[in-house]
């Protein structure tokens, strides 16, 4: 248990009760490519892998030279791949410099979940990316949601990120933040500080179920 901690500002931080953490210092987790953080942390970006395993996710990120500070596995355990305060990694487009990211291991589309045991689906929502004609979304596990609901507010507090939902107002008619892909010269708008889904501000499809879950289970 002593080793099982997050790394924040070069310090070891115990996780909330019941959450299992491994890290890149003691547990042979990869330390993903990163740069020193120069801007204040403002955003917590929620991702889903569209893949089946944490091992596969780590391999892909290493190969591409990308990174994410945290990975949440199917069993609800978390791995820490950098200093959450100080290491900037490539995961969230225009928010890289001001964010940390968490990859939740979730195949997302039924086709990508073939062969996996115990996956549940719901009918597609406005934010669902549908492969072919199968209009369903594969849910993350209950263990992942349980961890997420405890972990995100805990880390927001430790890192000075407001536990707020600046993209809460997005919907079927307005699916992305204003100016997310505006010219000139590739300028990209950023959401206000808080917790956001990757899909909300970039040409991606992931994270919205996680955000909806947090919003639904958080008293505002
Ligand atoms: Zn993503």
Residuewise pLDDT in 10s, the chain (220 residues)? 456 899 999 999 999 999 999 999 999 999 999 999 999 999 999 999 999 999 999 999 999 999 999 999 999 999 999 999 999 999 999 999 999 999 999 999 999 998 888 799 999 999 999 988 899 999 999 999 999 999 999 999 999 999 999 999 999 999 999 999 877 666 799 999 999 999 999 999 999 999 999 999 997 6
> How many angstroms is it from 1 CA to the middle of ligand 1?
30
Q: How far is CA 40 from CA 93, 97, 134, 160, 202, in A?
A: 16, 8, 41, 9, 21
Task: Give start and end residues of each alpha helix (H) in the chain.
Answer: 54-64, 142-159, 208-216
> How many angstroms is it from 210 CA to the middle of ligand 1?
12
Q: What is the pLDDT of residue 115?
A: 87
Q: What is the pLDDT of residue 220?
A: 61
Phi-psi domain of 10 (left: phi exceeds 0; alpha: psi -120 through 50; beta: other):
left
**Residues paired with residue 36 on neighbouring β-strands, in sequence order:** 87
**Paired tokens of 188:** 């990209």
Q: What is the pLDDT of residue 86?
A: 98
Cα–Cα nearest to 58, from 88, 34, 19, 31 = 31
Distance between CA atoms of 212 and 219, rounded to whole angstroms? Answer: 13
Q: What is the pLDDT of residue 207?
A: 98
Distance between CA atoms of 169 and 85, rounded to whole angstroms? Answer: 28
Q: What is the pLDDT of residue 2?
A: 57
Q: Is the omega angle on the peptide bond into residue 184 within 30 degrees of 0, that is, cis?
A: yes
Q: Taking the CA of residue 86 as centre, how many other CA atoms within 13 Å lie in the half-sphere pointing to its CB?
A: 10
Cα–Cα nearest to 27, from 81, 100, 103, 102 = 81
> How many angstroms is it from 2 CA to the middle of ligand 1?
31
> How many angstroms is it from 207 CA to the middle of ligand 1?
7
Contact 165, 195 (CB under 8 A): yes
- pTM across the whole model: 0.96
> How many angstroms is it from 45 CA to the middle of ligand 1?
8
Q: What is the pLDDT of residue 219?
A: 74
**Paired tokens of 125:** 């929502």
Contact 210, 197 (CB under 8 A): yes
> How many angstroms is it from 50 CA to the middle of ligand 1?
9
> How many angstroms is it from 115 CA to the middle of ligand 1?
23
Q: How far is CA 117 from CA 103, 108, 120, in A?
A: 20, 14, 9
> How many angstroms is it from 91 CA to the middle of ligand 1?
7
> How many angstroms is it from 202 CA to the middle of ligand 1?
9
Q: What is the pLDDT of residue 187?
A: 78
């Amino acid at each position: 248990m002593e080793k099982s901690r997050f790394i924040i500002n070069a310090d070891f931080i115990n996780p909330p009760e019941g959450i299992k953490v491994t890290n890149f210092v003691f547990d042979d987790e990869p330390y993903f490519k990163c740069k020193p953080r120069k801007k204040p942390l403002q955003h917590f970006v929620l991702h889903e892998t569209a893949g089946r395993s944490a091992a596969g996710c780590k391999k892909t990120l290493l190969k591409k030279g990308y990174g994410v500070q945290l990975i949440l596995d199917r069993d609800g355990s978390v791995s820490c791949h950098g200093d959450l305060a100080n290491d900037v990694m490539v995961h969230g487009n225009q928010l890289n410099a001001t964010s940390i990211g968490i990859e939740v291991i979730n195949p997302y589309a039924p086709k990508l979940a073939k062969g996996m045991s115990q996956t549940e689906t719901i009918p597609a929502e406005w934010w669902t990316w549908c492969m072919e004609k199968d209009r369903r979304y594969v849910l993350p596990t209950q263990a992942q949601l349980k961890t997420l609901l405890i972990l995100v507010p805990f880390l927001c507090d430790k890192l000075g990120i407001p536990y707020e939902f600046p993209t809460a107002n997005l919907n079927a008619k307005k699916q992305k933040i204003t100016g997310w892909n505006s010219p000139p010269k590739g300028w990209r708008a950023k959401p206000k500080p808080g917790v956001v889904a990757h899909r909300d501000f970039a040409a991606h499809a992931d994270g919205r179920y996680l955000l909806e879950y947090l919003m639904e289970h958080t008293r505002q």
